[in-house]
Amino acid sequence: WKVDLRKQNIMWCSFLQGVPEAVSSFLVNVMRHFKNDLKKAFKLIDGPDGNGKLSLMEFKTAVANLGWTEFQDPEKAVQIFRYLDPDGGGSISYEEWQVMSGLLKELQLTILELLQHVDYTFGGIEVAHALLDRDSNQAVDFHEWRKAIVSMGYYGPSEVIYRYLCLDKTDHLTAQCWEEVVEMWKNREAVLKKIRDEG
């Protein structure tokens, strides 16, 4: 087999299914709240007089101030902090924070992979929402989502994707949420290019 292994054609990514649920939820919130700008998120947590490292106290305070209800339990913030501080040094450097970048790329690639599967299965992304919405109430709940995803033969991390697609709107995947999905699919080449360029 001949394979083009030039750097620009290779994408390295992290593995989402081995990531603790609190970390994947945090990633989804960061993506939504900061529009995928991880540097902006790091700077906000570090504060205006930041030293380029996140302490546990800074991290817990920032997460609480962002008002993300699923992180009201301080233990979840500690779990995320420990994941992002793998050497146990007591702070998260910007270099350690970059693991979020790998997870972000993996989530974006995973979403595109699922959308490709949906597009193929339903004959188009645009019509898929109506077909996923089995009870025709204009919203796809997680039970409908999971059942449809499994019946399509997709076994990736669909729960993380579902949370990302629904976040900040409702607990259901509405037709309005699906419009964002359609736009992402239409712009998939630009998303892939950005992932490649950020290498």
**What was the pLDDT predicted at 94?**
94
**What was the pLDDT predicted at 59?**
92
d(CA 199, CA 192): 11
What are the mean pLDDT values of the chain's consecutive 10-residue runs (199 residues total)?
Answer: 51 63 88 88 90 93 86 88 93 93 87 89 87 86 89 85 73 85 91 80
- Helix (H/G/I), strand (E/B), else coil: 99: helix
pTM of the predicted model as reported, rounded to 2 decimal places: 0.77
Q: Note whether 152 and 117 are within 8 A (CB).
A: yes
**What was the pLDDT predicted at 161?**
87
In the DSSP assignment, the letter for residue 16 is G
- Helix (H/G/I), strand (E/B), else coil: 49: coil
